[in-house]
Amino acid sequence: MSDLNKEVVDLVWGRPSGGGVSASIFRRWTQGFVFSENEHTALEQFEGGPCAVIAPVQAFLLKNILFNRECPNWRQISEEEQKTVLCSTLSEILESACSSPSTRFYLVTWAKGQIPQASVHTKTQSQTQGVPEAESSQPPQEQQPTALAAEDLGFEQFHSVLHKRTVMSVSELREEVLSLYHTWGGCCGVLLFLYSVILTKGIENIRNEIQDTMEPLIDPVHGHGSQSLVNLLVTGHAVSNVWDGDRDCSGMKLHGIHKQASVGFLTLMESLRYCKVGAFLKSPKFPIWILGSETHLSVFFTKEMSLVGPESPSEQARRVFQSYDPEDNGFIPESLLEDVMKALDLVSEPEYVSIVKSKLDPENLGIILLGPFLLEFFPNQDSGIPDSFPVYHYNGLKQSNHNERVRHSLIFRICFK
């Protein structure tokens, strides 16, 4: 294993005791990006773990299909369209991870002559056959890679047969990613893409953004991806937190999200008060959200763009107010009211602030509640959201779908009346 590969391994897998990453954990990650036979715009996940990469890619994939493509039926796309949209999605994520347009991109592929043998399903037989030798060659029409690694491809062997390609421009990147379509869909395609993102971002840059540099991107015991990994793919930054901006904790700066993301992130952990998701992830540019549970990531989406329209004055006020309420108590000390009003460009003359304080805190409790504050300055604002619209849910795990067929589920039609 080269020194470079060792740096990547330490960052991704850590330094687990007992001789390295277990074979079962590594095997769960040895799959590629494979479309469901039952849903042409859905990626399949074979085992638990790689959802930390597959779900973000699926979210961006849906964004590009739903909003960057004119087609009456977004669920029906051809194999050629699958190839185009997947590769453009992977390129987009790599571009996001790149620190500047002038920086080089890196693609991790198999070393020449070292492509492992992976089984493939055919429409006429279940016998396994070899993967085509040329990475960019077209496999026979009747074959579709399963993206499951050959059984004898272990952790050490995988890292001994990797090759790093250097790409000098965005246009060249898109061409190279497209030429490697069957690599991304074949054995270990998910890991090859993840390593490409990491090298493009820069190992040192990622370490500078991660809150705890001892925490690997993939848990070597349980096999799940970290929040830093999800954030890296969603925003291009491997920060460990999901709130807006940076926060100071006893002199330590904790990094969060600094701009509106293209796709969002929501988590069950917030309802349990383990974390606070900021507006930049809750209100993304497109109405697509990665959903985090205790053990899995899925995707929730709709075509209703009014859900993610420009931030209204009341939404901005809520976000600013909550930035002064880091513990999410729903109130701030009255001493901070003037700061909040200044941040919102409201009249903040001391005499007027005093009048507002007495109105919002008539019992002199020394606190200002969020609800009354919004009603005072931003009453009766119409959101412009329609009364009803369909929403869909994607879960890439076969066993989590009806009849083990991975499909987008129309889970309900939202109705506000």
End-to-end CA, the chain: 61
Helix (H/G/I), strand (E/B), else coil: 298: strand
Spot the catalytic one: 51, 98, 187, 188: 51
Spot the catalytic one: 224, 237, 296, 408: 296
The tokens for 79 are: 């194999």
Determine the distance from the C-alpha atom of residue 148 to the mean position of all C-alpha atoms in its chain, rounded to a whole number: 23
**Residue 51 annotated as catalytic:** yes
| Distances in whole angstroms, Cα of residue 228 to Cα of each of 121, 206, 357 | 35, 9, 40
Give DSSP secondary structure letters for 234-261. HHS---S--SBS-EEETTEEE--B-S--
Helix (H/G/I), strand (E/B), else coil: 179: helix
| Neighbour count for residue 225 (Cβ, 10 Å) | 25
Check if the beta carbon of residue 282 is closer than 8 Å to that of residue 292: no
Give DSSP secondary structure letters for 264-280. EEEEHHHHTTS----HH
Matching residue, tokens 């769960």: 28
Residue 396 half-sphere exposure, CB side, CA atoms within 13 Å?
30
**Residue 121 annotated as catalytic:** no
Annotated active-site positions, please? Answer: 51, 296
